[in-house]
Chain A
Amino acid sequence: MDSKNVMIIGGGIAGMTAARELAEAGLSVDLVEKSGFLGGHAIQYTCKATSECLQCGACSVEKMLKDVVGNDKITVHLSTEIETIENSNGYSIKIKKPAAFIDAKKCTNCGICYEKFKEDDLILQGYSKNNTPLYAVNREKIEENKIALKEVCPEGAISVSDTASFEDLTAAAVVVATGFTPFNPERKGTYGYNRFSNVISGLDLERIKRRNGFLARPSDGAAAQKIAFIQCVGSRDENLGNLWCSQICCPYALRTAESLKHKNPDLDVTIFYMDIQNTGKSFPAFYETCKDDIRFIRSIPVDIFPVENDNLNMRLFDETEGTPVMESFDLVVLSIGIMPNSENKPISELLGLALDQDGFFQNSDALNKTSTSNDGIFIAGTAQGPKNIAASMAHAGQAASGVLKYLGVTE
């Protein structure tokens, strides 16, 4: 077989899946990731198991990360961006690497650099122990910290140069797996996100659980006892220009609530929703069981007021009661939706691809959601539209299969 090279843009669950599929088929892969770590958003999520697996998919991201990191056919370029891409008889790509990075071959994950610089945000830590290296230099802080960076590592694993460097790559095909941007809940002003410390997003909840091992309130670190989830924050909203359903937030909230209840049966959970997207084979049955543990209120709240002890008063309207009441919660979780990647426009211009009316990458063939107007470029994962972890992996698998056909590896 010819040695054919494929470039994958984006190292989240979709990009990693496509990389592994292609590597297993014998191709070599350049996996380019803008941040310092593989795994994207999906790696930040925690297991949602109760006494049984709730099929959230979080563990499959860990496994995929491990597979990709250990695969000789996959070259991972972290903290790297695409500078230019030209299409003539294959693709010629110039990538840009930062002036300072941690050399994966020399780094022992000792954490000395992180301990020294975590407060300054200069060294960042990956979400998974499978991130290799486990630490990364924050690109935005390199310039003013070059000398300190040179000296901190006993292994000499932090490479520091005067300027960013460029590297030329070639690829026979390209997979665009640039993912999504989470909705910024500050845009729903009355919820007080970033003003009231105990109003958090679902993604914040995951990070808190990873860091603390339990759901600690940001204000005082105490275990949350009475929490509310508000659904559809940023999705299905014409005022915001986001008419789509993000698809992940209902299963997310329900699984998270069940998993929290499993660990702490006294936890009081209310979910405010407009309608629950209970699709999928087992989800309707799961939803029914959730009703035993969770209070569901079919009205989206509007007003949250901070009260003593950093608690939150919410004016809520339970239609079965018919009158509004003010109720206090000690933590409010906003189930934020999947937005198009905020950099989709420049990326689409770089690649000469079209975006759809919502700002996601447009598949050129209505029946093949990985297709683009450029035969050698394929879309994978949430770059194309909202998807959960399993759907992103399936979509990436489909993109990889498209690449293999395009390159004549399979028929």
Chain B
Amino acid sequence: MAEPAIKLGGKKKSTFIDKVKEVLPEGGNLNLCLTCGACSSGCPATGLEGMDPRKFLRMAALGMDEEITSTPWVWMCSMCTRCMYVCPMKINIPQLVFYARQQWPREERPKGILGSCDVALRNDTCSAMGATEEDFQFVVEDVLEEYQEAQPEFKDMHADVNREGAEFFLNQNSREPVTEPDEMVPLWKILHSVGADWTYGTKGWAAENYCMFMADDEAWKHIVQTKIKAVEDLGCKVWLNTE
């Protein structure tokens, strides 16, 4: 009788990549990499911090958990998902990056993103710049009045706030009302020209969501729920998030 097969090694240590595979549909195809490098050729963040998407995925596959959960490169990824788009095997590298972000202690995550998320959590506007309900409403009404007067062809243009029952609930990135208010107007004009039935809301109006980029799931969820409630409270049919 033949000798029994030799079993190699002990029980495999669960690595970071295995945990990510468990939560992604089809395991994110994370074990299908052909190492072709199309991801790295196409990635805007390739070469920063000595890292690129292929190297990142290979290091994860090799179980180099400490290195990939500590490289600041994960914060330079813009989550554009181009790596996955050009990948011949549809590998979900962006989600691997996302979960690597989550391994960072919250207080050590990049200051800009962390601060923006925390400010957004402070009030119901969800504004990462801390703009209040009153500030937003004042700026919108002020800018609208200015344009209605200066451009007679838009004298009937609306930019309602808190109008119940409108078809669309429009979000607005905080940067516009706070620093570049005129930048809100082109979209208003488009909506006016097509006869769209839309409104802003004083609650949940800020389009940005830094908590998502920070990979803080609880805070991300809170921000989204606050916005959904604002849309539902006004009885709007469609939530338009311009981010």
Contact = CB atoms under 8 A, between A and B. Distances in A.
Chain B's interface size range is 20 to 34
Interface in B23-39: 29, 32, 34-38
B51 to A, nearest CB: 9
Contacts of A232: 36, 88
B52 A239 contact: no
A274 interface: yes
A232 B87 CA distance: 12
A323 B37 contact: no
Interface string B80-118: 000000111110000000000000000000000000000
Interface in A348-389: none
Given A237-B88, A303-B42, A317 B37 contact: yes
Interface string A182-211: 000000001000000000000000000000
A128 interface: no
Contacts of B46: 317, 323-324
Nearest to B89: A238
A403 to B, nearest CB: 39
B92 to A, nearest CB: 13
A323 B36 CA distance: 16
A299 B47 contact: no
A307 interface: no
Nearest to A234: B88
A302 interface: yes
Q: How would you classify the secondary structure of chain B's contact residues: helix, strand, loop or mixed? A: loop
A303 B54 CA distance: 17
Nearest to B45: A324
A106 B41 CA distance: 57
Q: How would you classify the secondary structure of chain A's contact residues: helix, strand, loop or mixed? A: loop
Contact of B41 (A236, A238, A316): A316
B152 interface: no
Nearest to A298: B37
Nearest to B36: A274
A300 B89 contact: no
B40 interface: yes
Given A190-B86, A239-B87, A302 B36 contact: no
A315 interface: yes
Interface of B: 29, 32, 34-38, 40-42, 46-47, 50, 52, 54-55, 86-90
17 contacts: A236-B34, A236-B88, A238-B89, A274-B35, A275-B34, A298-B37, A299-B37, A299-B41, A299-B54, A300-B36, A300-B38, A300-B41, A302-B42, A317-B46, A319-B52, A323-B47, A324-B47
Given A300-B36, A303-B41, A319-B37, 11 more contacts: A238-B32, A238-B88, A239-B89, A274-B36, A300-B38, A300-B41, A303-B42, A317-B46, A317-B47, A322-B52, A323-B46
Q: Closest 10 A-B residue pairs measured CB to CB? A: A299-B37, A323-B47, A302-B42, A274-B36, A237-B88, A300-B36, A300-B38, A302-B41, A317-B41, A317-B40
Interface of A: 190, 232, 236-240, 274-275, 298-303, 315-317, 319, 322-324
